[in-house]
Structure 1
Amino acid sequence: MRLPIIVTIAAAVLFAVQPAAAQEAERFVPQDSVQLKASFSPVVKEVAPAVVNIYTRGVVRQQVRSPFDEFFGGFGGFGGMTRERVAQSLGSGVIVRPEGIVVTNNHVVENMSEIKVVLADRREYSAQVLLTDPQTDIAILRIESDEPLPFLEFANSDVAEVGDIVLAIGNPFGVGQTVTTGIVSALARTQVGITDYQFFIQTDAAINPGNSGGALVDIDGRLLGVNSAIYSRSGGSNGIGFAIPGNLVRQVVATAVDGGGTIMRPWIGATARDIDGTMAMALGLDRPSGALVSQLFAGGPAAQAGIREGDVIIAIDGQDIVDSDAMRYRVATKEADARVPVVYLRDGNQRTVNVRLSLPPETPARDETLIGGENPFSGLKVANLSPAVNMELSRDLTDTGVVVLDASQGSYAGRFGIGKGYKILSVNGTEVETVAQLKRALADSGRGWIIQTQSPRGQVSTLRINR
């Protein structure tokens, strides 16, 4: 039986302050009773002041079912009514710059209007959201202080090894700041289903609800990752926790503070598939590892460098690529114009090529629009698909048409399950390729609408709605 993922409220962040090629610290097993009596208290005293508690509050609108819904269908009648309720959230965060830059999980502050940050010494501050990044589940906050604040420097998460000792610090269950210890249980964990960038540090340090956004630090007191989620049946810690690697978090912080506040991740211009045992045998590989290039964007970075469909990418910038998620992660942590060495296999031969990464093109222009008026799509935010939008939504690079970016609470389309990632195929028999075409088709509706949509999983559905 597969365990459900329960997202905790605690954070852990880490940023690399040393170059990737830095020498690793010497590791050793305790040899005598003196070493076994060693304490982590010096590390905790240094780190704890930079780990904060985060309390949030917001008003959300909730769908209310009416006895008349069955008769009126919710469109132009009694259905679709909503009511407001107060939502509260509890989490943790880490100060990463002395001027008051705080990192936490996006799910801790999402849709919240009031955010309070409480330091370990009980000082309280109101926080401003600088940037939210749902794809990585990271949010960057700013608090104003008259004096420099304690902060954590970043470790290089790429040099962490399984077995390294780590500390998790946060505010589990709202009981107050708590420290737990454990080891790095696994690296490059994928297929976890928490964020769009599946590449996590796994630890057995106890992480519970309230820890989300808190710090996972190494033995030197540097930030190794941001605690994000746990595997659990009960909601408590089962010793399987996941942290977002600090090198990815560092990119988000740099964007929020130094890069204008707009997330612009580079792309390699290719999508890839994981390799299973059967595919490995067919490709002549000694084991199922690497990312099989399944699609190239014409004129993209990979194509310009000479990579072809069917090539197997096994390393990027000196880091092994075990699957397609690892490929996406390694590219996402680079600068937009970086030139990186890519090692790949073709016909059993290993080759290396330098690929200059770039930003994905936004052609056609996304024309982001909030649909209004009396029609079934009122309240939907839609946009034209382009390589940039496809990358943001983890879609096929070459996909075109109109996609739903967001659905307001209580919208009519939302009641039928139409939400983020849905593609609008046609309205009243007219194919929809652009937002402009969609608006014209909705306006020319006659007595109603026949709407065809496609879910993110590819399922096509048809709705018939009368005025």
Structure 2
Amino acid sequence: MTDPRTMTKHVSKLLAFLSVAVLMLLTVALAPMFSQAERQPGETTEIAAVLPPAPGAGTSSQAAQPVVPQSEAQIYLSFAPLVKAASPAVVNVYTAKNVKSRASTMEQLLYGVPAQGSVQNSLGSGVIVGADGIVVTNNHVIQGADSFRVVLSDRREYPAELLLADERTDLAVLKIDTGTERLPTLTFADTRAVQVGDLVLAIGNPFGVGQTVTNGIISATARTDVGVSDYSFFLQTDAAVNPGNSGGALINTKGELVGVNTAIYSRTGGSVGIGFAIPSEMVKRVVDAAVNSGTFVRPWLGLAAQAVSFDIARTQGLDRPVGVIVTEVYPDGPAARAGLRRGDLVTAIDAREVFDEKGLKFLAAVRNPGELAQLTVLRAGQAQTINVQVEPPPGATEADVVLLSGASIFNGARVIELSPRLAEENGLDPFSKGSGIYVHSVTRGTISRNYFQPGDIIRAVNGKTTKSVRDLEGVVDKGGRDWEIEIERNGRTVKGTVRT
């Protein structure tokens, strides 16, 4: 039998040998980390050698593990350099409006009615997009104002000239004169590349407290049910946006202008994390129009459409609702000439999916007149591509408004012939059945105010269909005391006889 003391000596030697081997292995494994720790401040360190592989790298069994930051640079990440570069291009926009009031002194004191000759001031934000002083902001920031003033981030102030104000896109373009000085600008991002989850910063002047920066992500794209403008197609963000931020910049991590902050959803007036911005592709279109022509012409497809429901999607063989069904095609319009038909299902325009008519209109409107828009169309179960050349809608514009006069019930009414262009400018249905004359406005204190309202469509007078303003003027010139009128008001047909 072996002596137990001899076995104990052998075991002790074995354990000692194993301990030395383990220490040697640990020394070899940890040597790179110790060598990095011994580097002097300012020397370059290869962090990749000690960090685990990035997600998706290596084999599927090598899951990424959380790690402690290995350098001061990793600990102190900051948006400060980005903000420092972008914020000089974001400005404050001040407006002034001269108010004329006939309110008594008591009404002014009790109800806060502005005194006659007083000036109302308001504040918003803006973005410099042209080094020569071109500033873009929201239309609702400057609407109704008599004068404009732009204050740069370094507090210099300049009077501004209004180049273009477009209510339907809720955008306006101003111009300031800084002489030969070139101003800092933000470049336009490619909105088509924006994805939900992208980091963004909102820069503006909320509540007039001064330039403020908030951060968040893109919460949604292509929001078309906001109802802020006729061309609703907004980026949604959870970056804090408050009153005063309107017209300010929403930028990405490259410092590019993703959109112009425009509206918030709130029941209190403050930010609840649901803000909306006009995509930069529409902003660029409006700015280009302001600089080059002074008029923003909305391209037109010449069709009406409705969203695809789940039931319609199933009948079309789709696995989900997508696209719009063409319900009307304007005769000899762009869509008709390209070969589109009623019942066609448009699933995308320029390879971007559409889900309702507003989205379709927006994606067409970012094209310049004369350019081709590529529509992906599903017809009889077969997908095909149809190129439609977008163009301005035809017909009369608001410049063609005629003021009616004479001894008749139409005295003081401003009227214009119905047309696709008028419909686009006023949000009317360009496919309204029948012809007629649109009542653009009614002069206060005239007889027409007793019988007509802005928005009425005069279909017939004294049994004669009014297809043109000339037709209406011909009937009015004949005079008389009895007027048999047929009008359309708020979608309802109203008939009656008026005796004067």
Q: TM-score, normalised by structure 2?
A: 0.75
Q: Quick one: distance in 2 between partners of 1:209 and 1:416?
A: 40
| Alignment pair present for 1:155 and 2:189 | yes
Q: Quick one: structure 1 residues 275 and 144, their matched pair in 2 at CA, closer, same or farther if it must change by over 3 Å?
A: same
Cα offset, 1:38, TM superposition: 1.4
Q: Quick one: distance in 1 between partners of 2:143 and 2:124?
A: 12
Q: Quick one: distance in 1 between partners of 2:229 and 2:177?
A: 30
Cα offset, 1:169, TM superposition: 1.1
Q: Kindly indicate whether the alpha-carbon contact (under 8 Å) linking 2:327 and 2:342 is maintained by their aligned counterparts in 1.
A: yes
Segments of 5+ residues of structure 2 without an aligned counterpart are 1-54, 57-63, 104-115
Q: Kindly indicate whether the alpha-carbon contact (under 8 Å) linking 1:428 and 1:445 is maintained by their aligned counterparts in 2.
A: no
| Alignment pair present for 1:320 and 2:353 | yes
Question: What RMSD in Å do the two structures reach over aligned CA positions?
Answer: 3.3
| Alignment pair present for 1:425 and 2:459 | yes
Q: Kindly indicate whether the alpha-carbon contact (under 8 Å) linking 2:128 and 2:134 is maintained by their aligned counterparts in 1.
A: yes
The match for 2:141 is: 108
| Alignment pair present for 1:357 and 2:390 | yes
The code of the aligned residue for 2:98 comes to: V
The match for 1:75 is: none
Could you tell which deviates more after superposition, 398-407 or 263-272?
398-407
Q: Quick one: distance in 1 between partners of 2:102 and 2:485?
A: 23
The match for 1:123 is: 156
| Alignment pair present for 1:55 and 2:88 | no
Q: Kindly indicate whether the alpha-carbon contact (under 8 Å) linking 2:409 and 2:451 is maintained by their aligned counterparts in 1.
A: no
Kindly indicate which of the two structures has a greater share of residues assigned to strand. 1
Q: Quick one: distance in 2 between partners of 1:409 and 1:103?
A: 35
Q: Quick one: structure 1 residues 388 and 181, their matched pair in 2 at CA, closer, same or farther if it must change by over 3 Å?
A: same
The code of the aligned residue for 2:146 comes to: S
Q: Quick one: distance in 1 between partners of 2:248 and 2:188?
A: 14
The match for 1:383 is: 416
Q: Kindly indicate whether the alpha-carbon contact (under 8 Å) linking 1:231 and 1:241 is maintained by their aligned counterparts in 2.
A: yes
Q: Quick one: structure 1 residues 175 and 35, their matched pair in 2 at CA, closer, same or farther if it must change by over 3 Å?
A: same
Cα offset, 1:413, TM superposition: 6.8
Q: Quick one: distance in 1 between partners of 2:339 and 2:68?
A: 56
Cα offset, 1:294, TM superposition: 0.7
| Partner residue of 2:362 out of 326, 329, 332 | 329
Cα offset, 1:269, TM superposition: 1.9
Tell me the percent identity: 45
Q: Quick one: structure 1 residues 85 and 349, their matched pair in 2 at CA, closer, same or farther if it must change by over 3 Å?
A: farther
> Which SS does the other structure have where 1:309 is aligned?
coil
Tell me which structure has the larger Cα radius of gyration: 2
The code of the aligned residue for 1:45 comes to: K
- CA-to-partner distance for each residue in 1:227-266, whole Å, 9 max, x for gaps? 11111111111111111111011111111112x1122222
Could you tell which deviates more after superposition, 377-386 or 93-102?
377-386
Segments of 5+ residues of structure 1 without an aligned counterpart are 1-26, 65-82
Superposition map of 1:160-309 within 5 A: 160-258=194-292, 260-309=293-342
| Partner residue of 1:401 out of 436, 446, 464 | 436
| Partner residue of 2:82 out of 31, 39, 43 | 43
Cα offset, 1:166, TM superposition: 0.9
Q: Quick one: distance in 2 between partners of 1:373 and 1:38?
A: 74
Q: Quick one: distance in 2 between partners of 1:205 and 1:415?
A: 50
Cα offset, 1:380, TM superposition: 5.3
Q: Kindly indicate whether the alpha-carbon contact (under 8 Å) linking 2:396 and 2:422 is maintained by their aligned counterparts in 1.
A: no
Cα offset, 1:138, TM superposition: 0.7
Q: Quick one: distance in 1 between partners of 2:102 and 2:470?
A: 30
Count matched residues: 420
Q: Kindly indicate whether the alpha-carbon contact (under 8 Å) linking 2:187 and 2:257 is maintained by their aligned counterparts in 1.
A: yes
Cα offset, 1:343, TM superposition: 0.9
Cα offset, 1:97, TM superposition: 0.2
| Partner residue of 1:341 out of 356, 374, 379 | 374
Cα offset, 1:465, TM superposition: 7.3
The code of the aligned residue for 2:88 comes to: P
Could you tell which deviates more after superposition, 402-411 or 390-399?
402-411
Q: Kindly indicate whether the alpha-carbon contact (under 8 Å) linking 1:366 and 1:386 is maintained by their aligned counterparts in 2.
A: no
Superposition map of 1:57-136 within 5 A: 57-59=96-98, 86-136=119-169
The code of the aligned residue for 1:113 comes to: D
Q: Quick one: structure 1 residues 203 and 433, their matched pair in 2 at CA, closer, same or farther if it must change by over 3 Å?
A: same
The code of the aligned residue for 1:206 comes to: A
Q: Kindly indicate whether the alpha-carbon contact (under 8 Å) linking 2:128 and 2:186 is maintained by their aligned counterparts in 1.
A: yes
The match for 1:144 is: 177
Q: Kindly indicate whether the alpha-carbon contact (under 8 Å) linking 1:62 and 1:410 is maintained by their aligned counterparts in 2.
A: no
> Which SS does the other structure have where 2:400 is aligned?
coil
Q: Quick one: structure 1 residues 32 and 207, their matched pair in 2 at CA, closer, same or farther if it must change by over 3 Å?
A: farther
Q: Quick one: structure 1 residues 153 and 300, their matched pair in 2 at CA, closer, same or farther if it must change by over 3 Å?
A: same
Q: Kindly indicate whether the alpha-carbon contact (under 8 Å) linking 1:63 and 1:410 is maintained by their aligned counterparts in 2.
A: no
Q: Quick one: distance in 2 between partners of 1:234 and 1:344?
A: 44
Kindly indicate which of the two structures has a greater share of residues assigned to helix. 2
Q: Quick one: distance in 1 between partners of 2:117 and 2:460?
A: 34
Greater RCO (Cα-Cα under 8 Å, separation 6 or more): 1
> Which SS does the other structure have where 1:188 is aligned?
strand
Q: Kindly indicate whether the alpha-carbon contact (under 8 Å) linking 2:301 and 2:391 is maintained by their aligned counterparts in 1.
A: yes
